[in-house]
Amino acid sequence: MSRIYEAVGTIEDGSTIVLETPLPVRGRVKVQIHAETAEPDVALTDREAVLQAIHQRQRARGHKPMSPEEVEAYIRQTRSEDVDATGLSG
């Protein structure tokens, strides 16, 4: 009598299946594959939508981005610290 076990896994190289949980069997087995199709991740398919979502969450929590002047001051400060740390000039 054959038993049926179910486990979720990932096919790595077209022939190797890595299971998330071990199965209590050894030896030769018959395998059926049911591909789980996930919804496309917006983060991977639509960069503009991702950036809009990030900016929306930042605004919702009150984040204030640095002004161009603050960015320039930060860059100057960081470069100055690098020069001081390495002893090299710019």
| Domain locations in the chain as residue ranges | 9-85
Does this model's pTM top 0.75? My answer is no
In tens, the pLDDT along 32-89 reads: 888 877 665 554 567 888 888 888 999 999 998 899 999 999 999 988 887 777 766 6
Helix (H, G, I), strand (E, B) or coil at 71: helix
Q: Cα(64)–Cα(77) distance, rounded to whole angstroms? A: 20
Task: Write down the H helix ranges in the chain.
Answer: 42-45, 47-60, 68-86
> Dihedral (C-alpha) 40, 43, 47, 52: value to the nearest 10 degrees?
110
